[in-house]
Amino acid sequence: MMHRLLSQKRLHITTVPCWAHQVNLVVGDYLKRNVASRTVVNRALEIVKWFNNHSRAIGILKDVQLKSSTTGIPLCLILPVLTRWTSHFLSISHLLELESCFLHAVAEHGAELEKCTGKEKTAVVKAKEIVQIIKDSQFWFALRLIKQDLEPLAIAAQARPISSDDQWDGDGDLSTAEALFDPVAE
């Protein structure tokens, strides 16, 4: 119903029947079709996986966070769920919030991070790759651009969640869609 009302009121907007699911599909398509963005997101996920799989590395990152935090609560690294594309936005957001902590951890503990995986050659090579990704300013710049691309879609996907005991409000959904697509609309 919301898509019908929106299409009647805003003829220039293509509407979809299931808002949140369609937005998630759009995000998935963005990541599948944009090779450069997919490469950057994959590198970001490598960082998340690597730190989450190495207790000493995540400990170093948490120590750095606690030293610079005003809340005393470190942020977690989020590994996104493949079918919930908005979780990629949350994962990227946390990484970007922790950029200075990652850079500080690498600057102060780079050698320790490279050694915390053990002596196996492939593990050491992977650790060095992760450190290089973190040091790469172009990676962080590209990740910020991707976050800018994904943020409106993440907002749109979460704009009107409906719980099982909630009543669907087509007018509310219409207002939300109008605000997202035309923020200066009256």
Number of structural domains the chain divides into: 1
Q: Is residue 50 part of a domain?
A: yes
Which pLDDT belongs to residue 109? 95
Residues 93-103 pLDDT 10s: 999 999 999 99
Q: Is residue 100 part of a domain?
A: yes
Q: Give this prediction's pTM.
A: 0.74
The residue to which tokens 């790469």 are assigned: 136
Residues 6-22 pLDDT 10s: 677 777 766 656 666 67
Residue 71: domain span: 39-160
